[in-house]
Amino acid sequence: MNTVAASPYQPVKERGTMRSFLLALVMHLLLGIVLYYGVHWQSSTPVGAEAELWEEIPAATAPPPPPREPEPQPVVQPRPVPAPPAPQVKSKVEEDADIALEKKKRQAEAAAREEAERKEAARKEAERKEASRKEEARKEEARKDAARKEAERKEAERKEAQRKEDAKKKAAQQEQDRKEQAERERKEAADAKARAQADAKAKAQADAKAKAQADAKARAQAEAAANAQRKSELARLQALAGGGAGGGGVGSTTGAGAGGGGKASPGYADRVRRRVKPNIVFTEDLAANPSAVVSVRLAPDGSLMSARLSKSSGNSSWDNAVLRAVERSDPLPRDEDGKAPASFTITFRPKD
């Protein structure tokens, strides 16, 4: 995100201004000292040279005085203008010395001018270099400022991207937490439902077991009463059979038929099984399908005389349930000839 400056752009303040000013002042002082000594280092009066001239100078003879004339009348004349002094005649040595001195002065002035020009050029070069340095410093400062702003912009973008990424991760984490919470709640509800169903099933099984026990107790009592009645009836029948045998004749034949009973017809076992099966009370869930074989002895009228387990299924609960069902089914149906067989076996399986 680009940040907009709150204040308008201001030029970068130059650094080292006081140092540059002091350096310029020192250079000007040095230049003034050099110029002063360059101009005045030969400004003293040169020592004159003495020379002796031996050439004879002809003596100047004064002209003879003019003849005396009569004095004229005084006439007022204008005041004469004094003639300029005659130029001083210098010797050749003096002229050479003056020429040499003038030449030296000109050379010194030329050297001073060259030095001044050189120093001026050096000053201008220094100023140009200082201006170039300041410009480079300004550009460098501007570049650094631009780089700093770019770095701030990139940092702001990075922070914004990081903030969005953190927000995205937080939202994803919250969504994950919400899903996990929903899954936990669903599992807890399923577990509660399963526990409730298990409790209900256990309660139903307990109720069924209690009811089965109550029914079994009631049936046991009824069976005990029925067994007592059946035993008394069997005793009566046996007494009658014994009486017939003592009397001879047909009674003996009938007794033999009741005792032997003959073989059962092919469909008799299924008839007995259909009669007994509704009376079986068994609530366990078996993985296999074991077989319980029951041996039954009947009276000719179908009354149950005895029922015993000839082959166990391996599950005592199923064996006992089958025996109790056979006892509850007394009397059993008669065969096709109107009589019940004396004895037979019948097989029961829980999943048939």
What are the pLDDT digits (tens) for 284-330?
A: 888 888 888 998 888 888 888 888 888 888 888 888 999 999 888 88
Measure the CA–CA gap between 349 and 352, rounded to whole angstroms.
6
Measure the CA–CA gap between 173 and 164, rounded to whole angstroms.
14
Going by the DSSP 8-state scheme, the letter that residue 262 receives in this structure is -
CB half-sphere exposure, 268, CA atoms < 13 A: 21
Longest Cα separation, the chain: 255
Q: Where is 307: in which H helix or E strand? A: strand 304-311
339/162: higher pLDDT: 162
* SS3 of residue 206 by DSSP: helix
Measure the CA–CA gap between 174 and 199, rounded to whole angstroms.
36
The topology under which CATH files domain 280-348 is 3.30.1150
pLDDT digits (tens, 9 = 90+) for 177-209: 999 999 999 988 988 888 888 888 878 877 777
pLDDT above 50 (res 259): no
> pLDDT category, 167, cuts 50, 70, 90?
very high
Q: Note whether 259 and 245 are within 8 A (CB).
A: no
- pTM exceeds 0.85 for this model: no
Let me know if 36 is exposed, middle or buried by CB neighbors in 10 A (0-12, 13-18, 19+). exposed
pLDDT digits (tens, 9 = 90+) for 94-108: 778 878 888 888 888
221/253: higher pLDDT: 221
User: Which has the minimum average pLDDT: 47-51, 173-177, 302-306?
Assistant: 47-51
Which pairs from 143-152 meet CB under 8 Å and 24+ separation? 145/12, 149/3, 152/3
Cis peptide before 70 (omega within 30 of 0): no
pLDDT above 70 (res 165): yes
> pLDDT category, 63, cuts 50, 70, 90?
low
Q: Domains of the chain: which residue ranges? A: 280-348
Average pLDDT rounded to a whole number, residues 114-127: 91
pLDDT above 90 (res 35): no
The rounded percent of the chain whose pLDDT value lies above 90 is 21
